[in-house]
Amino acid sequence: SIVIPHGSFVAYLGMEKNSLEGYLFPDTYFFYPGDEPDVVLGTMLDNFERQIRSVEVSLALARFGRPLQEVLTMASLLEREAADMQNRRIIAGLLWNRIEEGMLLQVDAAFLYINGKNTFELTKADLAENDPYNTYKNLGLPPGPIGNPSLDAIIAAATPIETDYVFYLSDRTGILHYSKTHDEHVRLKARYLD
């Protein structure tokens, strides 16, 4: 676990929004009380480099061919949108296709980063908020990751499953429902969320 000396690590990370987001690998770390922020950051960044250089991850990234920053940004969304690899890969395929088609991603998880609200707390005003991370207003991926994704989420982002799905939603129990048409999506929303 990380020991934060007098809040200096948090202040150090606050140098620029999103400057290291996505690159601080989530893991268990052991530090001595009083360790300098540079030591903590260096350890986390070194671990990130080791993890993405592993054979499985480096091959997946090379085969996929998109820039690492894009993969990490997608992975950070997937980390919050689904709990298992299969659903993360399906959602990755759906979202990459939306980008290719010039559609808005409309990913609610971005609001956890923007204003701390989850899907069930969002209002129409939230969805209309002018923020570069608002995937309801801005085409494509957000400017950077919304968190530090796990290895599974990174691999899922780089190994999307191609489907005919265009929409998905998570019901109140966390079960994901996919649809191929907007009408079908509206019916699923009425059934599971209203």
d(CA 28, CA 40): 12
d(CA 189, CA 185): 6
Write down the pTM of the prediction. Answer: 0.87
Residue 55, pLDDT > 80, answer yes
- Are 4 and 36 in contact by the 8 Å Cβ rule? The answer is no
Q: Residue 16 — pLDDT band, cuts 50, 70, 90?
A: very low
Q: Helix 37-52 and helix 55-64: axis angle, to 10°?
A: 70
Residue 11, pLDDT > 80, answer no
Count of CA atoms in the C-beta half-sphere (13 A) of 177? 17
Our CA dihedral for 109, 118, 86, 54, rounded to 10 degrees, sits at: 50
Across 22-166, where does the E strand assignment appear?
none
Tens digit of each residue's pLDDT (9 = 90 or more) over 35-53: 888 888 889 989 999 999 9
Range 1-13 average pLDDT? 43
Query: Which tokens go with 75?
Result: 């992975």
Q: Residue 117 — pLDDT band, cuts 50, 70, 90?
A: confident
Lowest mean pLDDT among 12-21, 75-84, 120-129, 173-182: 12-21
Q: Residue 77 — pLDDT band, cuts 50, 70, 90?
A: very high
d(CA 176, CA 28): 29
